[in-house]
């Protein structure tokens, strides 16, 4: 089964080829330089950039895989959640290829892609709790089968990646802010600035608006702290609040596996701290490999492979679904 996978939900145009679920090639073109002058993603620019580059990237990915069009067995594409115009570029392209070649179209939920980015070269065992942390999502979900899950907690305001991006802007760092804060924090002292850890209330929900406002206030005080110390303190507060909910989510539901995925799972502090806390609590922590944390088509192809393997119902007549949930 040879799958061509397409991901265009946000600001990465990403194409992958997978053979029997194993990654053959992955090509991703990010659009950071086009969005940086605007301090964030401009949907119109994202769609135009996808449209300008998707066909060249698909051809390059097929060439590097040494595949021709006729060797494809199925086309997988992200149909949500994401930016409507950006999703439409991928969906329209995928539909055209699928109908021209008379091959099946496999519409993939981007969030399932993130979950299965942690299982690129191994099979999942159930149940597991997933901490999905990205620019658009901040979720704790318990999976009992490939596509059967229960929501345990979610953010009440900003997604954690969004908080990283907004705080980076306050610190004068460029977009996307997560990797910039991660790097700057390495030179700072997280004990020098006291910041709130987020939502202390019961339950497994998250909140980041208070933390972001606290950073704003301390940077605008009469005696603003060193920016590296602020970056380190913010990163610790943001990530500790994820850990403070993720570990109890596993313990409360008697689940001994925790999967962490999505762009923010690339954070070096979060990866180390989660593994340490997991070990202490008898929880096996599986982080998505760094190469597959941020948006990519390899994870979309892998999720499509699991849809076929598990005989999950394949949605038909799909269109771009910006607010698609799990
Ligand atoms: O999964 P992703 O590529 O896109 C969405 O589905 O949203 O995640 C992008 C987010 C951005 O907010 C970015 O700042 C954040 O992931 N990110 C990080 C790191 N690398 C990317 N956040 C913290 N530390 C990182 N090293
Ligand atoms: Zn994503």
**Per-residue pLDDT reduced to its tens digit, 84-97:** 999 999 999 999 99
Cα(112) to ligand 2 centroid in Å equals 10
Q: Please check whether residues 132 and 164 belong to one and the same domain.
A: yes
Two tokens at 13?
A: 């145009």
For residue 315, being part of any structural domain is answered with no
Nearest ligand to residue 78 Cα: 2
For residue 319, being part of any structural domain is answered with no
Which pTM value belongs to this model? 0.96
Q: Please check whether residues 202 and 299 belong to one and the same domain.
A: no
Considering Cα of 40, then 41, then 45, then 51, what sign does the dihedral take? positive
Q: Which of 13, 294, 295, 298 to mutate to test the pocket of ligand 1 (most atoms within 8 A of CB)?
A: 294
Q: Which atom from ligand 1 is nearest to the alpha carbon of 162?
A: 12
Cα(280) to ligand 1 centroid in Å equals 27
Q: Which atom from ligand 1 is nearest to the alpha carbon of 168?
A: 14
**Per-residue pLDDT reduced to its tens digit, 265-302:** 999 999 999 999 999 999 999 999 999 999 999 999 99
For ligand 1, atom 13: residue with the closest CA: 178
Note residues around ion ligand 2 (Cβ under 5 angstroms). 134, 295
CA dihedral 249, 255, 261, 266 (to 10 degrees): 80
Cα(11) to ligand 2 centroid in Å equals 10
For ligand 1, atom 7: residue with the closest CA: 135
Percent of the chain with pLDDT over 90: 96
Q: Which of 78, 178, 236 to mutate to test the pocket of ligand 1 (most atoms within 8 A of CB)?
A: 178
CATH code at position 299: 3.30.420.40
Report the pLDDT value the prediction gives residue 97, as an integer from 0 to 100.
98
Q: Please check whether residues 225 and 81 belong to one and the same domain.
A: no
Pocket of ligand 1 (CB under 6 A): 10, 134-136, 161, 164-165, 176-179, 182, 262-264, 266-267, 294-295
N-term to C-term CA, the chain = 26
pLDDT (mean) for 131-145: 97
Cα(250) to ligand 1 centroid in Å equals 23
Q: Please check whether residues 53 and 155 belong to one and the same domain.
A: no
For residue 143, being part of any structural domain is answered with yes
Nearest ligand to residue 133 Cα: 1
Q: Please check whether residues 111 and 70 belong to one and the same domain.
A: yes
For ligand 1, atom 1: residue with the closest CA: 263
Report the pLDDT value the prediction gives residue 202, as an integer from 0 to 100.
62
- Distances in Å between the alpha carbon of 293 and those of 218, 265, 298, 299, 322? 31, 6, 11, 9, 20
For residue 47, being part of any structural domain is answered with yes
Cα(134) to ligand 1 centroid in Å equals 5
**Per-residue pLDDT reduced to its tens digit, 165-211:** 999 999 999 999 999 999 999 999 999 999 987 666 668 999 999 99
Q: Please check whether residues 35 and 98 belong to one and the same domain.
A: yes
Q: Please check whether residues 141 and 232 belong to one and the same domain.
A: yes
Cα(180) to ligand 2 centroid in Å equals 18
Nearest ligand to residue 269 Cα: 1
Q: Please check whether residues 109 and 157 belong to one and the same domain.
A: no
Q: Helix/strand/coil (H, E, C) string of the chain? A: CEEEEEECCCCEEEEEEEECCEEEEEEEEECHHHHHHHCCCCHHHHHHHHHHHHHHHHHHHHHHHCCCHHHCCEEEEEEECCCHHHHHHHHHHHHHHHHHHCCCEEEEEHHHHHHHHHHCCCCCCCCEEEEEECCCCEEEEEEEECCEEEEEEEECCCCHHHHHHHHHHHCCCCCCHHHHHHHHHCCCCCCCCCCCCCCCCCCCCECCHHHHHHHHHHHCCCCCCCHHHHHHHHHHHHHHHHHHHHHHHHHHCCCCEEEEECHHHHCHHHHHHHHHHHHHCCCEEEECCHHHCCCCHHHHHHHHHHHHHCCCCCCCCCCCCCCCCC
Q: Is 217 exposed, middle or buried (0-12, 13-18, 19+ CB in 10 A)?
A: exposed
Q: How far apart are CA 128 and CA 253, in angstroms?
A: 10
Strands 105-109 and 74-80 come out as parallel
Cα(167) to ligand 1 centroid in Å equals 13
Q: Which atom from ligand 1 is nearest to the alpha carbon of 136?
A: 7
Q: Please check whether residues 193 and 111 belong to one and the same domain.
A: no
**Per-residue pLDDT reduced to its tens digit, 32-71:** 999 999 988 999 999 999 999 999 999 999 999 999 999 9
Q: Which atom from ligand 1 is nearest to the alpha carbon of 161?
A: 12
Report the pLDDT value the prediction gives residue 39, as an integer from 0 to 100.
84
For 48, residues 6+ apart whose C-beta sits below 8 A from its C-beta are none
Exposure string of 181-195, with b = 16+ CB inside 10 Å and e = fewer, is bbebbeebebeebeb
Q: Which domain holds residue 28?
A: 2-116+293-309
For residue 65, being part of any structural domain is answered with yes
Cα(266) to ligand 2 centroid in Å equals 12
Exposure string of 15-45, with b = 16+ CB inside 10 Å and e = fewer, is bbbbbebebbbbbbbbbeeebeeeeebbeeb
Number of structural domains in the chain:
2
Q: Please check whether residues 187 and 161 belong to one and the same domain.
A: yes
pLDDT (mean) for 102-112: 98
Cα(268) to ligand 2 centroid in Å equals 18
């Amino acid at each position: 089964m040879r799958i061509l996978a397409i991901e265009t939900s946000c600001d990465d145009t990403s194409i992958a080829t997978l053979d029997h679920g194993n990654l053959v090639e992955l090509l991703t073109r990010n659009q950071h330089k086009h969005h940086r002058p605007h301090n964030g993603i401009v949907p119109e620019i994202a769609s135009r950039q996808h449209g300008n580059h998707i066909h060249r990237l698909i051809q390059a990915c097929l060439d590097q895989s040494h595949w021709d069009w006729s060797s494809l067995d199925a086309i997988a594409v992200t149909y949500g959640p994401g930016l409507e115009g950006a999703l439409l570029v991928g969906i329209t392209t995928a539909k055209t290829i699928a109908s021209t070649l008379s091959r099946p179209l496999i519409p993939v939920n981007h969030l399932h892609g993130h979950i299965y980015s942690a299982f690129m070269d191994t099979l999942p065992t159930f149940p597991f709790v997933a901490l999905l942390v990205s620019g658009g999502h901040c979720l704790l979900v318990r999976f009992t089968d490939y596509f059967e899950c229960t929501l345990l907690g979610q953010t009440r305001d900003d997604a954690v990646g969004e908080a990283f991006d907004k705080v980076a802007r306050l610190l004068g760092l460029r977009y996307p802010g997560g990797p910039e804060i991660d790097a700057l924090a390495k030179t700072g002292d997280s004990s020098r600035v006291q910041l709130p850890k987020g939502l202390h209330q019961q339950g497994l929900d998250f909140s980041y608006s208070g933390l972001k406002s606290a950073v704003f206030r301390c940077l605008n005080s009469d005696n603003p702290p060193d920016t590296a110390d602020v970056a380190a303190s913010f990163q610790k507060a943001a990530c500790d609040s994820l850990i403070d909910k993720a570990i109890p989510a596993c313990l409360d539901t008697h689940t001994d596996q925790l999967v962490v995925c999505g762009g923010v799972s690339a954070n070096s502090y979060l990866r180390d701290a989660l593994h340490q806390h997991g070990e202490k609590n008898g929880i096996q922590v599986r982080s998505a490999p760094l190469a597959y944390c941020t948006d990519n088509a390899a994870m979309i192809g892998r999720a499509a492979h699991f849809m076929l393997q598990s005989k999950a119902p394949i949605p038909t007549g799909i269109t771009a679904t910006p607010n698609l949930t799990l």
